[in-house]
Structure 1
Amino acid sequence: MTARPRHTIVLCAALALAACAPWQDKPRAAAEAAPTAAACPQDIAAIARCLSGQDSAGAYYLIALPRDWNGHLVLHAHGGPALGAPQPARAVEDLERWSIMVRAGYAWAGSTFRQGGVAVRAAAEDTERLRQIFVRHVAQPRRTLLHGQSWGASVAAKGAEMFQRTAGGQRPYDAVLLTSGVLAGGTRSYDFRTDLRVVYQYLCGNHPRPTEPQYALNTGLPPGDPMTQADLRARVNECLALDKPAAERTPAQQRKVQTLVDVIRIPASAILGHLNWATFHFRDVVQHRTGGASPFGNAGAVYQGSPDDAALNAGVLRYRADPEAVARFAQDADLQGSIPVPVLTAKGIGDPTAFVELDAQFKATMERGGSGARLVQTFTRHDTHSYLSDPTYPTLLAALLRWVDEGDAAKPTPEAIARQCAPMEARFGKGCAFAPDYVPAPLATRVAERERS
């Protein structure tokens, strides 16, 4: 085993200590202005009143209070993350998507976060700041349920670890709901996107082109590169013709598409989206979060599923993650599994964005952190990521509330949740699809293991 430089060991130890220390009721909301009346999205305008504002850190937020409020607050952490400055419209879009929670009687509050990019702790702080604004200026909820969706699930889980007690000694969050979550931590959740970059480049050779300056693909893009998402889409379609039906692609294009599908194990429809992440979000991480070095690597990864695996493994570019970058990224984006309240997760078995094996890794993290008994995982037969179905979410929230109110005697099981969903369809429409017997395989069965510093 190669000796690590002393400065790396010191940095890793310091970051590990910081990651394990729960924050206590920060940031404070005493200086926060009260929200003002705002228009509600059309589908809840008749049943709720809305409030909006911008917090002291620069994040916009939106709050909805149903007229028949059940007294409970759903505090929402959105997915993405978006890149660039926050916009008020983001909170409106989130409330429109999650209006089911208001229609089910819950108050809802969502922040845009103060900044774009992959900054998990900052987003968790913004979410907690919004909770304090709600309590100070709107109402004291009976229960506060912290909801994270997609990347926001990692924000919610991190926030539940960071903020475990208020100044008054109370729990800020009574329970946590994580849906379609990216839950394996930043240093593992994005391994397959590193793999996608190198396999795509092996097959297509146009990101970058041979005539362009070469750079390490695990950095996303070099500083100052003017590439846009439209530019990337054009290159991908040039090589793979993803903008055409499979029957209209050339045989060579279809072979390359199929190789990516078989090796990376994502559907063809998800290739461009994940390449965007592995380009622009990787650049954000490297240039703004980890000091210019990359926390992503594929050293030692063995790829399988192509027409010629030996040639593929010999030909792909290889990168070793920088140890200090890994430590910095882990401090922000990895989870410790130390959540002191009930946690319920839900994910579609066919989720093409945050696949189910990430949840197996999260379960292992929770068990390692001593919170395994406070976790219940559910899966549905959906193959979507952004939204499962209207009756799914009220079912999950109701199960969480029973667990909180009645204790472990009411701890839900996947079977019980599946049964409880059916009556919800009478009020919220069809869409129950829980698969109570499903158990995801370990992450290593989906994503090639690799050497880690």
Structure 2
Amino acid sequence: MLSAPVRTLRRLLATTVPLILAVGLVGAAPASATDRDPGGGQPLPGYTVEIPSLAPLVVGGKPTTVRQGVHRHAGYLIEVPARWNGDLVLWAHGYRGQGRVLSPEPPAFGLRERLLEQGYAWASSSYDRNGFDIRSGVLGTRDLADHFGRTVRRPQHTYLAGVSMGGYVIGRSLEQYPRYYDGALPMCGVLGDQTLLDFYLDYNLVAQALADVPAHPTPADYLTNAVPRIQVALGLAGLTPTGPDTTTERGRQLRAITVNRSGGPRPGADAAFAVWKDFLFSISVPTGSGNSPAQRPGQLSTNLLTRYTPNSPVNVDAAVRRVAPENVVQRLLPTLTEVPRIAGRPSAPVLSLHGLGDLYVPFSMEQAYAADVARHGRGGLVVQRAIRTTQHCEFTPAEAGAAWDDLVSWVRTGKRPAGDTVTDPGVVARPDYGCRFSDRDAYAAGVGTRRLYPAC
């Protein structure tokens, strides 16, 4: 499981943190969560806010009320149906890159319409900055919830829903503000926190070791020089999800290691590798001149204690380059940092969705979260569902809508809904794994990557 070696690393290095702080390296950590301008009617310097035009919907014969503005440097959207049931859903958006334009978005997968028809209000923050900045998302989402309570009315129940990095925001929000939120729906979420960056590091270092093309730290010509040589050596250049297997013996070892590090043997895993093999090289290339974790993930990523399976024909454990995190303090601090830890202590019911073949945010994120939650005795608060898709956040309105309805019923009645077991390798490897909650109509229609999986 992807997070196990990291837990060991945390235990080994935990005693070093006080010493690091004592000798003055605390400045390497990001600013504290209290350095926020209490006003913030304008975006931060260098940013602009663009709020999409959102026409009100007609629900029950009456139009909704749409509000928008800038609060604490972040743009926001709020929509309230005429017959509001008193509950609020906060939408947490995913990673937006390093651009300087902030923009909130409505809930995806048909959830905007579903929420309003059911009587829920929703609100969405742009956060006060872009980048892989979970701290901004956690604080911005809570700020917007409070702003809604002041300008509309304090809701009876407050839910979280969101995608990708927004799932990271959700996972940390439930721990940052215990009992503030009543339920959460993270989809394709980074629930394994910093270990996502370790997964990207693993792929590139293992590929380099197997191809005997050392290229760490990542050079500027990585994609045009080292990567093509790696692809030829491993037989990756002509590999497609539905074509013949062009991999060499070492290429097959890379694929097997990647499958194991991303969640273990499971339906569609080989096809998913073919879909994502090139992207996983590109994501390791530093972008721009900034120093954020997204631009320079080496600050936090590590493989010091990782053991790779299978470890033959090449002894990867011995051959791979070992990399320590540059910023140990930020890696280990329990406080709300730019890329914080999720301890696994949810304070409200969580129902998550995740694509089996997603390797941008791999299925192992769900396994890491399940293990952390179980370790803290909170497994009863988490239900996880596997969806047989390969692209990132590839869900249908039926899948997201069913999950939302089940979450709400859980919060209202206390009856825990059904989910998938994610931590039992034997269960995950079954040919029909992920069938229970996948949209069969989407498969029949050949939507997206559904047909990369056998019919259920």
SS in 2 for 1:267: helix
Shift of 1:300: 4.2
- 2:398 maps to which of 391, 397, 400: 391
Residue number in structure 2 paired with 1:449: none
In structure 2, do the counterparts of structure 1 residues 50 and 385 end up closer, same or farther at CA, with 3 Å as the change threshold? same
Q: Is residue 7 from structure 1 mapped to residue 12 from structure 2 by the alignment?
A: no
In structure 2, do the counterparts of structure 1 residues 370 and 255 end up closer, same or farther at CA, with 3 Å as the change threshold? closer
Residues of 2 paired with 1:37 and 1:281: CA distance?
Answer: 26
On the 8 A contact 1:289/1:328 being kept in 2, the answer is no
Residue number in structure 2 paired with 1:367: 374
Residue number in structure 1 paired with 2:389: 382
Q: How does 1:230-379 map to 2 (within 5 A)?
A: 232=223, 236=227, 240=231, 246=240, 258-265=252-259, 267-280=273-286, 294-305=299-310, 308-310=313-315, 312-322=316-326, 323-328=328-333, 332=337, 333-379=340-386
- The superposition leaves residues 378-433 of structure 1 with CA deviations (integer Å, 9 ceiling, x where unpaired) of 22333343131111222222222222223x3x232339xxxxx99xx9xxx94599
Residues of 2 paired with 1:70 and 1:432: CA distance?
Answer: 35
Q: Aligned partner of 2:231: which letter?
A: L
Task: Provide the TM-score with structure 1 as the length reference.
Answer: 0.67
The structure with more helix, counted as a fraction of residues: 1
Q: Aligned partner of 1:137: which letter?
A: T
Residue number in structure 2 paired with 1:174: 182
In structure 2, do the counterparts of structure 1 residues 277 and 297 end up closer, same or farther at CA, with 3 Å as the change threshold? same
In structure 2, do the counterparts of structure 1 residues 249 and 390 end up closer, same or farther at CA, with 3 Å as the change threshold? closer
Residue number in structure 1 paired with 2:123: 109
On the 8 A contact 1:75/1:110 being kept in 2, the answer is yes
- The superposition leaves residues 168-224 of structure 1 with CA deviations (integer Å, 9 ceiling, x where unpaired) of xxx5322111111211121x232221111213334668895xxxxxx634xxx7xxx
- The superposition leaves residues 311-344 of structure 1 with CA deviations (integer Å, 9 ceiling, x where unpaired) of x444432212343342258853211233322222
Q: How does 1:434-453 map to 2 (within 5 A)?
A: none
Q: How does 1:94-105 map to 2 (within 5 A)?
A: 95=106, 97-105=108-116
Range 40-49 or range 331-340, more displaced: 40-49
Residues of 2 paired with 1:293 and 1:353: CA distance?
Answer: 17
Residue number in structure 1 paired with 2:66: 50
On the 8 A contact 1:101/1:394 being kept in 2, the answer is no
SS in 2 for 1:382: coil
Residue number in structure 2 paired with 1:185: 193
Q: Aligned partner of 1:388: which letter?
A: F
Q: Aligned partner of 1:294: which letter?
A: Q
On the 8 A contact 1:64/1:102 being kept in 2, the answer is no
Residues of 1 paired with 2:160 and 2:370: CA distance?
Answer: 18
In structure 2, do the counterparts of structure 1 residues 54 and 299 end up closer, same or farther at CA, with 3 Å as the change threshold? same
Task: Provide the TM-score with structure 2 as the length reference.
Answer: 0.67
- 2:147 maps to which of 133, 156, 162: 133
On the 8 A contact 2:91/2:123 being kept in 1, the answer is yes
Residues of 2 paired with 1:39 and 1:336: CA distance?
Answer: 38
In structure 2, do the counterparts of structure 1 residues 37 and 183 end up closer, same or farther at CA, with 3 Å as the change threshold? closer
Is there any run of 5+ residues in structure 2 with no aligned partner, and where? 1-11, 43-48, 260-271, 421-434, 445-456
On the 8 A contact 1:86/1:114 being kept in 2, the answer is no
Shift of 1:305: 4.5
Residues of 2 paired with 1:414 and 1:161: CA distance?
Answer: 22
SS in 2 for 1:404: helix
In structure 2, do the counterparts of structure 1 residues 263 and 370 end up closer, same or farther at CA, with 3 Å as the change threshold? closer
Q: How does 1:36-47 map to 2 (within 5 A)?
A: 39-40=53-54
Is there any run of 5+ residues in structure 1 with no aligned partner, and where? 165-170, 209-214, 416-420, 434-453
Percentage of matched positions with identical amino acids: 21
Q: Aligned partner of 2:79: which letter?
A: A
Residues of 2 paired with 1:69 and 1:432: CA distance?
Answer: 35
Residue number in structure 2 paired with 1:198: 205
Residue number in structure 2 paired with 1:439: none
On the 8 A contact 1:29/1:133 being kept in 2, the answer is no
In structure 2, do the counterparts of structure 1 residues 307 and 330 end up closer, same or farther at CA, with 3 Å as the change threshold? farther
Residue number in structure 1 paired with 2:46: none
On the 8 A contact 1:352/1:385 being kept in 2, the answer is yes
SS in 2 for 1:278: coil
SS in 2 for 1:387: coil
In structure 2, do the counterparts of structure 1 residues 98 and 126 end up closer, same or farther at CA, with 3 Å as the change threshold? farther
